[in-house]
Amino acid sequence: MSGSRPLTHEEEKRLVRRMRNAPPRDRVLVTAQLFLGFRISEVIALTVGHVFKDGRVRDRVSLAPRFLKGRYGGTRSVPVSAELRRSIEAYLHRRKKEESLAPGAPLFPSRHHGINGAAKGICRSSAEKIVKAHLLAVAQTDRDALSTHSLRKSYGVRIFRETGNDLLCARDALGHSSVAVTQVYLPTNRARIDAATLKSDWTRMRRNEPDCPTARVITRAEIPIARKQLHLTSSNMRAPSLQPMLPGFDAFAR
């Protein structure tokens, strides 16, 4: 979503701490988008079978193209992080006490049911309201630029940094077809740009002045004495051997 911004690292930490005390369904809804990088429409399309099999949380969450935006491309598969695993385990443990966990059941069921009483997942607008409320609670600045897509952008920024600023890895992690789209997800650091601008001003650099000993200007009366002692002609008045005896002689001769 254009116009939305990623969370700062501090906001991410505050969000995770907040979600640990939130209702189990809300915790999984927010944590899944933050650590899987899925769009909100893809997150609410998840079923129990996508994340749970044989009595345990899966190691990876995989979505077939029919669940993805555009319904094309290959299956997106993302490993389940420790934080997401804990949130899913707590959520499904609670649900097992109330119902049987059918693989095809929606991971985020709605209070309303579909045709013939079948379970129905929450709608996008409901999910967006839940996520937005938690984001606003931890926002430090620019609250109007926060949306569900902020979590996806935050995921993209983390992948970009953890891979050594590899744009191709970030593109593949987000499932983009072009790096041009991925670049929009990666905001520039204004402070770093300002610092680089000031550092690049070479006119402010201190010039390295050559080290030179303090010179003493000799008098005219000392010149004949120096010539006589060293048996020098006028063409050899700049000889290095003269300098230790009469510092500043060379400066005067020039």
Domain that includes residue 36, residue range: 9-163
In a domain, 128, yes or no: yes
In a domain? residue 210: no
- The β-bridge relationship of strands 56-57 and 60-63 is unpaired
Report residue 242's pLDDT band, with 50, 70 and 90 as the boundaries: very low
Q: Does 100 map to a domain?
A: yes
Looking at residue 192, its pLDDT comes to: 73
Asked if residue 229 is part of any domain, the answer here is no
Predicted confidence (pLDDT) per residue in 101-135, tens digit: 899 999 999 887 777 767 888 999 999 999 999 99
Distance CA 178, CA 182 (A): 7
Residue 110 forms part of a structural domain = yes
For the stretch 205-240, pLDDT in tens is: 565 545 455 555 667 677 677 677 666 444 444 544
Res 214: pLDDT: 52
Q: Indicate whether 209 belongs to any domain.
A: no
Q: Is residue 252 part of a domain?
A: no
- Phi, psi (degrees; rounded to nearest 5) at 160: -60, -45
Q: What is the pLDDT of residue 218?
A: 61
**Residue 206 domain flag:** no
Report the alpha-carbon distance of residue 226 to residue 128 in Å, rounded. 94
Residue 44: which CATH number? Answer: 1.10.443.10
Identify the band that residue 52 occupies on the pLDDT scale cut at 50, 70 and 90: very high
Domains in the chain, number? 1
